[in-house]
């Protein structure tokens, strides 16, 4: 029974370590501009909101520039005209 508990504990620790590594890795790629935030969240296996919170906690600057804002506003205004 003790060996089973030890194995379970090791598996849980490995799982948590892997999840933490994924978060760190993909938020770094997002911060470097290599992935969108949505893609980073997907690859890390967390929700978009979890990734937003994680990036904010790590003080990773948002990768959203004026050009993207203008594009998004164009889409919004275009849908309002219809």
| More confident call, 56 vs 69 | 56
pLDDT for 68: 77
Tell me the percentage of the chain whose pLDDT exceeds 90.
Answer: 56
CA distance 25 to 34: 11
Q: What is residue 12's DSSP assignment?
A: H
pLDDT for 82: 65
- Highest-confidence segment of 1-5, 6-10, 41-45: 41-45
Whether the Cβ atoms of residue 4 and residue 28 lie closer than 8 Å to each other = no
Q: Give residue 1's pLDDT band: very low, low, confident or very high (50, 70, 90).
A: low
Alpha helices of the chain — where are they, by DSSP H? 2-31, 37-44, 48-57, 66-81
């Amino acid at each position: 029974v003790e060996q089973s508990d030890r194995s379970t504990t090791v598996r849980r620790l490995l799982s948590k370590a892997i999840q933490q590594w994924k978060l760190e890795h993909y938020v770094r790629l997002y911060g470097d501009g290599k992935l969108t935030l949505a893609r980073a969240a997907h690859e890390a296996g967390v929700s978009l909101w979890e990734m937003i919170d994680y990036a904010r906690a790590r003080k990773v600057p948002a990768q959203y520039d004026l050009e993207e804002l203008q594009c998004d506003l164009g889409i919004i205004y275009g849908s309002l005209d219809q």
